[in-house]
Structure 1
Amino acid sequence: MINNAYLTKMASRHREHLSGYLGAHKAGKPNNSSLSKSKATTSTEQGTVQSQSKDVPVLFTSSARSRATYLSAKTRPVVKITGKATINHLPDELLLKIFSYLDAGHLLLAARVCKRWLPVAKDNLLWERIVARYCGPSTSASNQTLQSGQNTSAVSSKNLFIKSVSSSRNKKALRFLKKINPFTGLSRDTDKALKSAGVYFQLTLIDQYQNEHVLNSKDVFYHQMAATTRWYDLEVPKIKHIKKIQVHSINPLFFNNKGTAIYNSPYQRSLLLSHDLDWNKVLKRITDFDNLHLLFLPNGFVLCLERCKMLLNWLCLFQGDGELAFVSMGLHCNQLVQRCLLGSSDIPYDIGTHKVIPDDIDSSYGLHDYQCTVEIRTSRNSIWSQQFNCLSCKKENIGSGFAVFPLIRKDYHCDHVILQKKLQFPWKTDAFRGIVENVAWIDVTVLDERGEPFWCISSLSRVGEQCLQKNFDFDYSSEDVYTLSFMDERGKLEAQMSKTDDDNFFMTILNLKLSLDRINAWFGTTYK
């Protein structure tokens, strides 16, 4: 604690210095008393003063010693003030007194104002009282013991408080994950967990000069297996200048009495996605529609580019007036709460390494007893969903590096399903809105024989059209066949459809294909 006699002495010195300063300015002369005192300092103090700015007082020392130690020193260099005094000329003791009236949230915001306030706002004298108030005196006492025994930095009390409030927030959210949805095999209340933690999402666009353009999500829609978030009303640079895209979850630290996150509260960030944009490769992955261009990126990430009427090819789009219209992203619910709350701003949450359990008795180990749940939907509403149990792959169905699991078979009419709603993707910008036909979200969850998630996806996919020479053998016959598919390094989902008389899609084939490399790595097998 600060010596009271020393504080009285320091206050007297400040009054004397301020009185001389004001008197000198009234008379139009420099402050001789302060100059004489400055000349009387020791050689060590003179070196310290010269190393600091003449207009800024000496700051507290770094984490090597605490600010309380600095304040208890017998001598303090006096800085000459030239011109008009500002708040930056206040001694650290007065700033410390002013900051003592702030709560934790405003203190964190004050630390971000400038470098002058940062070390003062981190002072242990401020945060020890906050820790004792919110975390209890025992926690504060244990922190003091830790400081005296291990010589920790002056920001340890602040870190202890943030750790305490974030841990309380996380425990409250993780309680919602105990109940499992039998239809999907995932946590049933993922949406409630994220809403209780006040989580929302932030898009960061990094341009060629490493400038960050940060945008908060406009809305989030939750479904059985995934969530969809989107950004529009974008004020960002030209699309050709964007070199990297990042998505973070924003996790507030402070909540009101009703448990709702306080608006504009200090928060933590957790990295969910980071994607570098190489435009030489991106140009090949753009899908053209009537009034916009869609760019499909990995991990369910979709960019929409406004179409320029005067441009005739893709290359001109990025050299001309191409603008980013909106951004949409699908987030699968598998460990989504953990990924949002337990990651860092630079490194995504590590979901852990799967433990391989070998089996030398079962000759078809890793090829049977899968469960697959598929949902086709828009951003807001479900179009069709179905669960497929006890899936098995015969060894003769292994080929081209995949194990094939038929979900809907062409020759079994009882398997065929009619999609009662149109496949479409509604979009919205700050000024316009519309619908892209024959584009829909696909959510897939594949569980292995132990009920562990083996493959989880949430991605936007386009319906393609192909022409066949002969008709399908079912009631709604047509020469045109439509395909809906998705593929990544873990597997493929392939569907074939036709259209009914009222233009609804009629699904006749649906195949799940899992990568043999992933099966071998997951189960310790050697299938080829």
Structure 2
Amino acid sequence: MATGLVEFLLNLRRGLVKDEENSPARGGTRVEESARAGRRRDDTSMPTPLQREPCKTRPAFELCAKGSHGNYMERLPSEIILKIFSFLDASSLFNISFVNKRFHDLANSNALWSVLYASEIEKKMWRPPVSMMKEAVSSTVVEEKPAGYWKKLLLKEMAGYKDTMWKTELKHMNPHTGMPALTEHVLRRLDIQWEITLTNRNGREIVYKQTHTFFEDSSVTVCWNHGIWPLMYTLNTLQLHGIMCPASPAPGDKPRWRSLIRKTALQRTGRWSFFGADRLVKVLEFDKGILIGLWRGNWKIAFIMVNLHFHKLIERSLLGSRFCPYMPADDSAVDPDCSRHGYTLHIVLHNPVRQILCRRFSPLYTRRVMPQREFVQLIAIDFANVSEHVPVAKISLPWQAEGLKGEVERCCMMTLTVLDEAQRPFWCASSTVKMYSRQRVLELEYEGEQFIVLYEDAEGKVKMTFVWMEEVQHYFLVQLVTIFPADKVQRHFSGEC
């Protein structure tokens, strides 16, 4: 066995030497070839023991430079590359599309993904008729479909959900909130959860699973308070993803599909503000709805909270990709006479433990404000009308982390929903809010310290005024005004106001 192996290696070496002698790039000449041939003929006349010449090793880059002329993959025909790609599974084919532009075009071929889609369907317990499958993956039908059609279908199948069922369930609306009545039920049935991914300055990613959720009638508050947290100043970005987590995952389950909901920069130069503090933590606010609690005295994270509105939440948690969020279609009403429409305002103040305030105001009619009449406002509570004032319980934000508990005063979560006359969502906002002490501006019958809550984004503004009544240990909401840009109303109703 050893002699045969030696003979094989010697023959392999002689073949390589012969190739080097015959190649012009090796620098050999006809004279040297004839001289070597003569020496070999003379050696045959006198048998001598086998002499092994020392093997001269050369760097790998020299062999690559001498033995190849350019990239072999670039010189291969597309048909051969497609044949190679046909042996890959869906995950490998998806990843290889990011190598270069040519691989991206070839790896997105409908011919490849249609075969993978057919094989994925065959694994299901329910199988369509054979004639239907043959028609679906026939060459004529495959070529008629737009680019990426079969890839999209396969990724939906691999994600493990059927959107037809939950879309039907979401058609039933809650008349009180204007949101789908079965949103929480569908979220729990599909095992939808949310993960955050923290990326540090070196590009390293750390994923954290949710530890606690608090469902309201129109929003959900998600908390993360367990894990080994990095220091805040070492982080670069925070990404919030929606995923489907089966209750009992099997060892052979496919990777979970991630849908990006929000991406936030965490640098000090980013959009963050001081939100509140107690004896143990200080709280920072990012991007209108993301709270990060830091231990006092250092920059180590204690907890993270996010408030998510129910409007298109299931779509945003499932139908996006890891790098791109789901973009809902613009559903505009077709009625230019929007100035006479009655709006509905549903507002909830809450924290991750309890509900603080829940009110519905309808109908509300718009009023022009500002000299240029560029804004319209909805007055839900007028400070001059005492009968509209609403008592409010203690406003605070409880938290817990690493076995410790605390409570940040005068801040909470706000979920706001404005519906048009047809009960279609006109403006949906879900964020954290805090109370600011202000001088006594409004002349009221109440004697107490006044506080104001302001919220503003690109879609509108909210202003709330509270009065603290020391005798009864309660706040009173004495003013609630919502303001919108006039062009937002025009876009929604596709007309002029």
TM-score (norm 2): 0.72
For these two proteins, the number of residue pairs brought into alignment is 425
Give the structure 2 partner of residue 222 of structure 1: 215
Q: Which one-letter code corresponds to 2:293 in the other structure?
A: C
Which of 259, 264, 281 is 1:270 aligned to? 259
Alignment of 1:206-221 (within 5 A): 206-221=199-214
How far off is 1:176 after superposition? Answer: 2.1
Residue 409 of structure 2 corresponds to 437
Cα 1:410–1:355 change in 2 (3 A) is closer
CA–CA separation in structure 2 for the residues paired with 1:353 and 1:123: 31
Q: Say which of 400, 403, 418 aligns to 2:391.
A: 418
d(CA) in 1 for partners of 2:141, 2:495: 55
**Cα distance change of structure 1 residues 156 and 413 upon mapping to structure 2, 3 Å threshold:** closer
Distance 2:442 2:167 in 1: 54
Asked if structure 2 preserves the Cα contact closer than 8 Å seen for 1:173 and 1:196, the reply is: no
Match of residue 457 from structure 1: 429
Q: What does 1:346-495 align with in structure 2 at a 5 Å threshold? A: 346-355=323-332, 357=334, 359=336, 362=337, 365-366=338-339, 368-395=341-368, 401-419=374-392, 421-468=393-440, 472-473=444-445, 477-495=446-464
Please state whether the residue corresponding to 1:280 is helix, strand or coil: coil
What amino acid maps onto 2:175 in structure 1?
A: P
CA deviation after TM superposition for structure 1 residue 396, in Å: 6.2
CA–CA separation in structure 1 for the residues paired with 2:360 and 2:270: 36
1:483 CA displacement = 1.6
Give the unaligned 5+ runs of structure 2.
Answer: 20-62, 65-72, 96-106
Shift of 1:292: 2.2
> Aligned to 1:231, which of 224, 228, 232?
224
CA contact (8 A) 1:301 1:330 kept: yes
| Residue pair 1:304, 1:325 contacting (<8 A) in 2 also | yes
> In the alignment, what sits opposite 2:277?
289
Distance verdict in 2 for CA 1:70–1:227, change over 3 Å: closer
Which residue of 2 is the match for residue 240 of structure 1? 233
**CA offset at residue 144 of structure 1?**
5.3
Native 8 Å contact 2:390 2:476 kept in 1: yes
Change (3 A) 1:146 1:267: farther
Question: What is the CA deviation profile of residues 301-326 of structure 1, one whole-angstrom value per residue up to 9, with x for unaligned ones?
Answer: 12222221xxxxxxxxxxxx411221
With over 3 angstroms needed to count, the CA separation of the structure-2 counterparts of 1:430 and 1:39, relative to structure 1, is farther
Equivalent residue number for residue 133 of structure 1 = 123
1:115-173 CA-to-partner distances (Å, cap 9, x unmatched) read xxxx9xx9999986553231455565456534997599xx9999765433547432333
Aligned AA for 1:388?
F
Corresponding residue number in structure 2 for 1:87:
none
Please show how residues 81-92 of structure 1 align to structure 2 within 5 Å. Answer: none
Conserved 8 A contact 2:369-2:376: no
Is the CA contact 1:245–1:275 (under 8 Å) kept in the aligned structure 2?
yes
Q: 1:524 to 1:150 in 2, by over 3 A?
A: closer
Alpha-carbon distance in 1 for matches of 2:13, 2:258: 49
Against the structure 1 CA distance between its residues 417 and 356, is the aligned structure 2 distance closer, same or farther, given a 3 Å change threshold?
closer
The change in CA–CA distance for 1:453 and 1:150 in structure 2 (over 3 A counts) is closer
Residues 125 and 351 of structure 1: CA distance in aligned 2, closer, same or farther (over 3 Å): closer
Whichever residue aligns with residue 165 of structure 2, its letter is: K
1:226-245 C-alpha deviation (Å, 9 max, x unpaired): 11112222434321222222
Decide whether aligned partners of structure 1 residues 228 and 261 sit closer, same or farther in structure 2, where only a CA change above 3 A counts.
Answer: farther
Residues 491 and 407 of structure 1, relative CA distance in 2, 3 Å threshold: same
Distance 2:182 2:10 in 1: 67
Aligned amino acid, residue 484 of structure 1: V
**CA distance in structure 1 between the aligned counterparts of 2:170 and 2:77, rounded to whole angstroms:** 40
The alpha-carbon deviation at position 510 of structure 1 amounts to 1.4
Distance change (3 Å), C-alpha of 1:150 and 1:411 = closer
- Cα deviation per residue 1:417-445 (whole Å; 9 max; x = unaligned)? 112x3211111223422111211111110
Give the C-alpha shift of residue 489 in structure 1.
Answer: 1.6
Q: 1:514 to 1:30 in 2, by over 3 A?
A: farther
1:129-208 counterparts in 2 under 5 A? 130-134=120-124, 135-136=127-128, 137=130, 141-142=134-135, 145-146=138-139, 161-166=154-159, 168-208=161-201
Letter matched to residue 437 of structure 2: E
- Distance, in Å, in 2 between the alignment partners of 1:62 and 1:504 is 77
Q: Which residue of 2 aligns with 1:81?
A: none
Partner of 2:314: 337
1:358 shift after superposition = 5.2
Q: For residues 218-267 of structure 1, what are the alpha-carbon distances to aligned partners after superposition, in whole Å with 9 as ceiling and x for unaligned?
A: 22222111111122224343212222221111135xx68xxx76587521
TM score, norm. by length of structure 1: 0.68
Quick one: which amino acid aligns to residue 410 of structure 2? Answer: N
**Greater CA drift, 294-303 or 167-176:** 167-176
Q: CA RMSD in A?
A: 4.4
Q: Which residue of 1 aligns with 2:52?
A: none
How far the C-alpha of 1:505 sits from its partner, in A, is 1.0
Residue deviations 1:40-74 (CA, integer Å, cap 9, x gap): 9xx9xxxxxx88xxxxxxx9x99955899679xxx
Whether 2:484 is the aligned partner of 1:520: answer: no
| Partner amino acid, structure 1, of 2:291 | V
Report the Cα offset of residue 175 of structure 1.
3.0
Q: Which residue matches 1:305?
A: 294
One-letter identity of the residue aligned with 1:423: I
Q: Report the Cα distance in structure 2 between the residues aligned to 1:388 and 1:332, rounded to whole angstroms.
A: 19
CA contact (8 A) 2:170 2:181 kept: yes
| Alpha-carbon distance, 1:449 to partner | 2.2
Q: Bigger shift: 165-174 or 237-246?
A: 165-174
Maintained 8 Å contact 1:174/1:193: no
Report deviation, 1:336.
1.0
SS in 2 for 1:514: strand
Q: State the alpha-carbon separation in 1 of the partners of residues 142 and 367 from structure 2.
A: 64
Distance verdict in 2 for CA 1:434–1:166, change over 3 Å: same
Residue 164 of structure 2: SS of its match in structure 1? helix
Q: In the alignment, which residue of structure 2 is the partner of 1:498?
A: 467
- In structure 2, what is the Cα distance between the partners aligned to 1:186 and 1:62? 55
Please show how residues 315-326 of structure 1 align to structure 2 within 5 Å.
321-326=298-303
Contact 2:345 / 2:361 at 8 angstroms: preserved in 1? yes
